[in-house]
Amino acid sequence: MKKKSAKKENQSSETSEIEMNYTCFAKDWQLALSPYLESEAFEEVIKNFKEEKAQGKIINPPSGLIFRAFKKLNLADLKVVIIGQEPYTGPGQANGLAFAVNEGMPRPPSLRNILSEVETDLQTDFNLRETTLEGWEKQGVLLLNSVLTVEEGVQNSHAEMGWKKFTDFVVKTISDQKDHVVFMMWGKSAQEKFNLINPRKHPRLTAAHPSPLSARKGFFGCRHFSEANTYLSQWGKNEIDWTQINDFNGHFCQSEDEYTKILGV
């Protein structure tokens, strides 16, 4: 009987953790996304997440980092949205920012290919060992996966959990409420959001996913980084310094606990 009670308490803690974390979104994200965050559809995502945790599965990223992309970057400061597929499935890789890993982690192949394309596109050399992409986030780049969680070691395991409806709402909200935001959609899953974006207000850039399986089928040579900067400049916005991978003026988040401490949540 005690074991059952402890199990229920643990499940409740996990659910509360993810529910509490969305209240720590930047304030303008909270306001813009509240219709969905308070909906039955989002409650269903929480339910599905709880069921996965109850089965003892390891979920990436950790609960406290699932909504990390919405915590530091304000909607008001958004200039570019990069949409991927799902978090990395390897142990300790996923940290809540699409394609990024924490400082000191080996660079996954997709990230290596992204940085290689930056270097080729901009015809510049820079430190390819950097991994956090916090430098991009700080300049107004939202790093968003279509699906926000995954079971460790199992690709596409949460594809039907309900996250896609949430990220659809995010993309549609940005399209409706903002002007002149560059959308980069890499891979089939990301490109499912193509028609949610108003082409009269925003450029819609598509390319193959940067994974080794598809990078040579349309990611390499896409030149999205220079194209984004050309567009931003045309509309009087500061260009993104794509060579600033890490945030050298900030703090590298090494763990979920450290990130939570920095945010004060």
Strand partners, 151: 59
247 pLDDT tier (thresholds 50, 70, 90): confident
130 pLDDT tier (thresholds 50, 70, 90): confident
Three-class SS of residue 237? coil
Name the E strands within the chain. Answer: 59-60, 80-84, 141-145, 150-151, 182-186, 204-207
From 73, 65, 63, 66, select the one nearest 32 (Cα to Cα): 73
Alpha-carbon gap, residue 192 to 164, rounded angstroms: 10
How many Cα neighbours within 13 Å face the side chain of 109? Answer: 10
pLDDT at 99 exceeding the cut of 50:
yes
Alpha-carbon gap, residue 95 to 100, rounded angstroms: 7
- Write down the pLDDT at residue 7: 40
Sign of the four-CA dihedral 156, 42, 198, 114: negative
- Write down the pLDDT at residue 249: 52
* The two structure tokens encoding residue 211: 């994974």
40: burial class by Cβ within 10 Å (0-12, 13-18, 19+)?
exposed
Lowest-confidence region among 60-74, 168-182, 225-239: 60-74
- Write down the pLDDT at residue 265: 32
- In this prediction the pTM is 0.87
237 pLDDT tier (thresholds 50, 70, 90): very high
